[in-house]
Amino acid sequence: MERWDLYDSNLNKTGKIVTEESQIPNGFYHMSLEIWVINSSNHVLLTKNSIDYSKRYPGSWCCIGGNLIADETIKDGLKRILYNKIGMTLSLEKVEIKEPIKRDPYNYAYITCIVFENLNIKNIKFIDQNSVSAQYINKNELIKMCNNGEIAYYLIERINNEILKYLD
């Protein structure tokens, strides 16, 4: 069971820790990372969620994501989440970390992290088995997938605001 730092409405750490099964009080948040890997061809890596209806967004294409655990830095969270999701340790030499954005009424804030790195899809291993496939796609393919409902709906605004500008 994950333990998370609790943040106030200004996204400052409160010094309190909650578990992932806790009810987070209104006006408080935990922090999540949304990780977008972009290669040197300016294509973005997406993973496809398994068709498991007990999980969120079954069968949808998504970025790599996960929650920061208590006392974890963003860089350490990136390393852990990338390894747990795709079985790879990336260099993280070039990363852009955006400001956190609150997602109400869900009591979490997300940090968009853009990782510029080439990785070989053939080396991906879906450690947590929440995903079943991965692919790099270009800007036009991403727009088409958004319009066709293939992308998890909650990501479309972020894609438009943060990701498309990096893609060819």
Give me the tens of pLDDT residue by residue for the chain, a chain 168 residues long: 899 999 999 999 999 999 999 999 999 999 999 999 999 999 999 999 988 767 778 889 999 999 999 999 999 999 999 999 999 999 999 999 999 999 988 999 999 999 999 999 999 999 988 899 999 999 999 999 999 999 999 999 999 999 999 998
Of 37, 62, 59, 33, whose CA–CA distance to 47 is shortest?
62
Radius of gyration of the chain (CA): 16
| Residues whose CB is less than 8 angstroms from the CB of residue 155 and which lie 6 or more positions away in sequence, other chains included | 34, 62, 63
Cα 13 to Cα 27: distance, rounded to the nearest angstrom: 13
